[in-house]
Amino acid sequence: MRYAVLGTGAVGRTLAERLLSLGHDVVLGTRDPAATLARTGPAGSGAQVEPYAAWQAGHPRAGLAAFAEAARSGEVLVNATGGRVSIEVLTAAGAGHLDGKVLIDLANPLDFSGGWPPVLDPANSDSLGELIQRTFPGARVVKTLNTMNCAVMVDPARVPGDHHVFLSGDDEDAKSSVRELLQSFGWPPDCILDLGGIQTARGVEMLLPVWLTLMGRLGHADFNFHIQGARPRA
Ligand code: NAP
């Protein structure tokens, strides 16, 4: 499968590396490939993220292209951009390049402009997942993986025991294909919980304040939500 991972930060790279290890073709999307490759300082929102060119050198099979070219080439798209710029990025990617494709949205609409802790915008009566689906009605948006650290997304065994990942989306076939992808990452079928339509993205995005508080208290990110009683009743 050909994946376009929109976003060159820690999350985009982690997803890309895992997809490549599974034999998929991956192009990462960025604003300006030459500028991204020329950067020498830490990249993205994480001060610990190495310059893109150094990462690229270790991942020679990963392609890099402007958002529109990456989206054009991808059969499946991943939104791994900051939630506050996701609509801008997807607009640059081009609505025509999203039409009919599964768009995995793992972004969180965190607004850090007022300092720490960030606030969610949108929230309560809307969500980023819904906003993306409304803005790009031809895309088959599946919200998932946004409720855990990116290392856990692609390697759930980092967290001991059973723990859960959520799916939200209006397109059942799209959710089925994302479920298969999650299983290829190592998620047991019973640990993938389909919450329903894209409106349920509200709830999973609003878990972020809890997740961020837990990370602060625990001092690490290798944890996840476990939903006791999630197995269907006999
Ligand atoms: P990030 O470093 O904040 O952003 C990466 C991408 O955003 C880059 O490709 C960058 O483009 C693009 N970008 C930044 N500002 C832009 C602007 N003004 N206009 C257009 N594009 C812009 O991302 P991240 O830390 O990897 O996180 C990605 C998403 O995953 C976020 O929504 C985050 O909330 C979510 N998430 C993160 C984790 C985690 O473990 N960190 C876990 C769950 C969910 P360039 O390539 O051109 O620089």
Question: pLDDT tens across 126-135, in order?
Answer: 999 999 999 9
Structure confidence at residue 48 (pLDDT) = 74
The alpha helices in the chain, defined as continuous H runs, are 10-21, 33-38, 52-58, 67-73, 86-93, 95-98, 128-135, 150-154, 172-185, 201-205, 208-218
Q: Residue 231 — pLDDT band, cuts 50, 70, 90?
A: confident
Q: Is the CB of 63 under 6 A from ligand 1?
A: no
Ligand 1 proximity of 35 Cβ (cutoff 6 Å) = no
Q: Is 33 in the pocket of ligand 1 (CB under 6 A)?
A: no
Domain boundaries, the chain: 2-218
Mean pLDDT on 53-64:
98
CATH topology of domain 2-218: Rossmann fold (3.40.50)
118-138: average pLDDT: 98
The amino acid that residue 1 corresponds to is: M
CA 177 / ligand 1 centre spacing (Å):
24
Q: Is the pLDDT of residue 144 over 70?
A: yes
Quick: pLDDT tens for 198-216.
999 999 999 999 999 999 9
Could you tell me if 63 and 28 are in contact, meaning their C-beta atoms sit under 8 angstroms apart?
A: yes
pLDDT digits 0-9 by tens, 148-199: 999 999 999 999 999 999 999 999 999 999 999 999 999 999 999 999 999 9
3-class SS of residue 121: coil
pTM: 0.97
Closest ligand 1 atom to residue 79 Cα is 29
Query: Ligand 1 in contact with 144 (CB < 6 A)?
Result: no
Q: Are 1 and 76 in contact (CB under 8 A)?
A: yes
pLDDT in tens, 14-41: 999 999 999 999 999 999 999 999 999 7
Ligand 1 site-directed mutation target among 14, 30, 31, 148, most atoms within 8 Å of CB = 31
Q: How far is the CA of 46 from the centre of ligand 1 (A)?
A: 9
